[in-house]
Chain A
């Protein structure tokens, strides 16, 4: 009897997996190390030097409380799942960034590809847009250097991300589409016209590869000269209400741009919270590396922006029927010390942090993994970035065999708790 009763729920799990193929991945990369204990894993009963000033609120998930900084997300926790037992192997930003985005340490051999590059290679160049986007100001970095695992790695630079930036006003900048000195769209059009005329004078070379190339050339030309081809980047075609829903912030508008890219069938979009981890350094752009003013920044700036943008994404993707086929993830490279520092802030903490998962193939409404009473270490199975990457690739249809053939994510296992 017990056996029979157990089967339908198992079957339900299997059915969810059947639908699990993610057509797009949208990774919100919370660069700098967001404080888990001040956000999704509060410990109100921990000693004062740990717990911090924030109160906690209930979420829609039984037994899971957030701090009061994430009210919108708390009201939507039935739409996503939270992992509280993430753990990484590196305690510095660039190193942990590479682990977080590739699954491997930088010095463990050749630099491995970003998860997005793996998906891009698997999907190939299919459409008018590149398969792997970075939305943000640049390649994630700290003051001394950028991360190594930002792009193609062993798969080659051909699978590096395509960079676009987005301002708080929703102005989209695409460095590779900026006209060089002396070039104008008209001149490119003239040149292209000349090329077409020449092509008509002789028999054209033809095979599958040349047809692929012609498509790429045509698509690039379109992006450079045709407003229609750049429509995915045009946030002005969104209603004011939608734009406000995401928040008039760089991250908010970047998330909206990411949603448009997902709608345009881009397989992998990574939204970078910031380029620099630092909050206050010159040129910095308010990363999550809150060594000073942690509580003030989280309360007044970071959490409201994130809470609003993430909630808007969940709602918007859901309303458009895109959530079932889009894998939405939010995570950083590590967490922050649960023990409050002598600067009244929090430092790097690689032993325990969080990630948030929603959409294609993910069972929502779960709280996965548990940290100890001071949020210092997982007491359940630690979940690593390699497992996160393996789960992403699996949901995108890059199975064990494809991974072995690409020689990527060797030894990675699935986060079956999510599925």
Chain B
């Protein structure tokens, strides 16, 4: 035993030495050419004035490597204050003032020196802790006033704060007055619930948020000790300067970056609030951030850093790259600008794109994406017979002229615009759907499309696009739907409180709703008809302040709205070429529909804290869209032609862990409608649907609820619904469930739909048997229909031996077909 203990101690000591060694090696690793690797060094800020003994300052030092990449040197340089007793600087670059005066801080590193000037004032003036700019930000930073804790609409455990301190009055009452003032104890501050809970001194469901040694504790403690002052005459924060403002590209192993946040107040003062701000990352797989604003890269990729101080938010974007041993960019072919921008990002992040897929994969993929159906046997054979090198381009151009293309894409719009019998009646459904279909087939410019919907006036029977305002049946609904569909903004959060991840305030919500408030919907004697017209007066009142909300749009702010119909002003702004959101939202939606996920993802959730995976690509697509007069077919064609769209789904060693930057095709399950149609085609026994002609495909159905609700049917399984057909009750594409379920698998294994198709009297299997086809031929035909390819020799052998070992030929053939229909190659688009 004794021996073991000694050995262990030795090991530990050795491990300690090793770790020091490693640390040293790491340091020298940073700059391969020795300590002189840095070409240039910069200090931020160049000068600063600290006012008051409670304030501090974060210095940032940035170096430039020979290849131009930047390195955060803040924690590696030496600081020296002159005169020495003016202030202290810790190794992380945090300056603490010591006395009034002026001086310099010298920064030196590897023989280079820089300096900044520092002034310190007001050290002897009393500076009580501020409720507004100390206490509230700390409660946000520590997570107390977050949306899942006390910032929730009803608070937590009987203690409610406003979301991230947006309502100081509510917070003032909650902290100082509720619970008979027990939350604070000015006589014995350390016994305040406000301090005992977050330090977990007494049980706290939210766990331990900070330590008595922390700055946050000290400030809250002092605030209570000073009598928990909540004077309302404090200067108001007007904005924050975040540095580095636009984020940075960092290269491993130099993947850390300290941030600095300086707040400006309406009395002209500036305070460093780096230590009071709240930091989050948009992509926790790529980066992490500490409470003091130190960001560390974890992997290749991009992540926004969401910096919040009071109601001010900035979202600098960090990019992390890493050299990979053995990686060489193979410079793949590019068809158009889509590939150019995708490849640029992939090259930067060291992902190698997959090569273009084979013809069989391509034809199946492009049929499903453009017209929603599998290619027929003849279409596959024709395509293989075409030896032109432009055959893929020719096929794309043909498909985009097909009537099925318009029907399929009209259904996508039906999902978004909530075309359902419940909301707009059966005749409304058919009218609106026909209008949508013709807008696709005539390739109506997208700006006109939006205008016809949003400005619809008069009878909805004559102007079917006006049914939009029947689905979106009131001011709030119209506001939220228009914002979500045309701007990709989920503004509904701001209805009740300022948006938790975004700049939208509650005021913005009601400002936007002012455009739709005067719209009137008058019923007529006709069924499914509403007259749309605009009143000349009527204002939205902000629920909290009771003041009139002036018409307001993102970026441009308050607008002078038309006296005739305020919707015109909104729509003019929306479809104005300078408005980037409108075009970006639509190209991103098209991209997501073709690629399975957006450049911004979720594709209708545009916000600074949810950055695009490839901003130049998004911009190029939007610019191209605008330049072509909002031509949606042009954008679809451009994407379909790209190597990026046509890439194989098989990954290589250099892109297998990418699922964000489009280095390979991401297989996805057929939608409910595509699946029903595909099953119907392969088995030769298509499903029929209620209330529409029997020849109608599932991918064309105008609404999910044409069948009147059957009250006597109990627990009947509806195949389409099980596979995620949306009810069209919200304008969010997320309503189409993409989650796989056991119910779906049971449907395929033992469900009436698939079984009915396989056993139907007149199905393909029976036809082939009656036609006297050879077994091999039968199998090949099923393959061609289901997978757009021939069976391989090996596959054929498997099938043939199965059929031979089973006595009943008809059943064996059904089993053969079933197995093909249950292959992932069939169920997934790939």
Contact = CB atoms under 8 A, between A and B. Distances in A.
The answer on A and B forming one complex is yes
Given A155-B737, A210-B667, A194 B792 contact: no
A404 B795 contact: no
B726 A162 contact: no
Interface stretch (B67-75, B88-96, B323-331, B717-725): B717-725
Which of A156, A190, A216 has the most chain B CB within a 10 Å cutoff?
Answer: A156
Contacts of A195: 819, 822-823
Given A209-B668, A223-B746, A416-B158, A158 B739 contact: yes
Interface size class of B (residues with CB under 8 A): 35 or more
Given A138-B714, A221-B749, A216 B740 contact: yes
B148 A400 contact: yes
Contact of A191 (B148, B157, B819): B819
Contacts of A400: 147-148, 152-154
Interface in B178-236: 182, 185, 191, 202-205
A314 interface: no
Contacts of A14: 157, 202-205
Which of B153, B650, B722 has the most chain A CB within a 10 Å cutoff?
Answer: B153
A36 to B, nearest CB: 27
A363 B718 CA distance: 42
B543 interface: no
Contact of B746 (A12, A17, A194, A220): A220
Contacts of A419: 157
A197 B667 contact: no
B653 interface: no
Nearest to A214: B824
B746 A399 contact: no
A179 B749 CA distance: 10
Contacts of A214: 824
B359 interface: no
Contacts of A402: 148
Contacts of A227: none
B671 to A, nearest CB: 13
Contacts of A158: 721-724, 737, 739, 741, 743-744
Given A176-B750, A191-B815, A130 B730 contact: no
A209 B741 CA distance: 11
A156 B724 contact: yes
Interface string B629-673: 000000000000000000001100000000100000011110000
A248 interface: no
A205 B824 contact: yes
B752 interface: yes
A130 B154 contact: no
Contact of A210 (B205, B722, B752, B824): B824
B828 A190 contact: no
B399 interface: no
Contacts of B815: 187, 190-191, 194
Interface stretch (A139-147, A300-308, A324-332): A139-147
Contact of A180 (B202, B735, B738, B750): B750
A125 B750 contact: no
Given A125-B741, A130-B743, A401 B711 contact: no
A228 to B, nearest CB: 16
B746 A212 contact: no
Interface string B306-319: 00000000000000
A146 B185 CA distance: 57
A179 B746 CA distance: 11
Contacts of B823: 195, 198-199
A201 B750 contact: no
A188 B743 CA distance: 16
Given A146-B714, A219-B742, A220-B745, A209 B798 contact: no
A17 B745 contact: no
Contacts of B721: 156-158
B127 interface: no
A376 to B, nearest CB: 29
Nearest to A400: B152
Interface in A227-246: none
A399 B742 contact: no
B742 A213 contact: no
Contacts of A176: 717, 743, 746, 750-751
Interface in A136-176: 138-139, 141, 144-146, 154-160, 162-163, 175-176
B446 to A, nearest CB: 27
A1 interface: no
Given A11-B202, A190-B815, A413-B154, A198 B795 contact: yes
Nearest to B180: A3
Given A204-B824, A213-B669, A221-B749, A401 B148 contact: yes
Interface in A76-105: none
A154 B735 contact: yes
A108 interface: no
A347 B675 CA distance: 49
B147 A194 contact: no
A121 B737 CA distance: 10
B740 A212 contact: yes
Given A121-B739, A162-B742, 12 more contacts: A3-B191, A17-B205, A20-B205, A111-B729, A139-B715, A195-B819, A195-B822, A198-B799, A210-B828, A221-B745, A275-B714, A404-B147
26 contacts: A6-B182, A11-B203, A12-B203, A14-B157, A146-B714, A156-B735, A158-B721, A158-B722, A158-B723, A158-B741, A191-B819, A194-B799, A197-B798, A198-B795, A201-B795, A201-B798, A204-B824, A207-B659, A209-B668, A210-B824, A213-B669, A213-B827, A220-B749, A275-B714, A401-B148, A401-B500
Which 9 pairs from chain A and chain B are nearest by CB? A220-B745, A157-B721, A400-B152, A110-B729, A145-B711, A14-B203, A216-B745, A156-B737, A194-B819
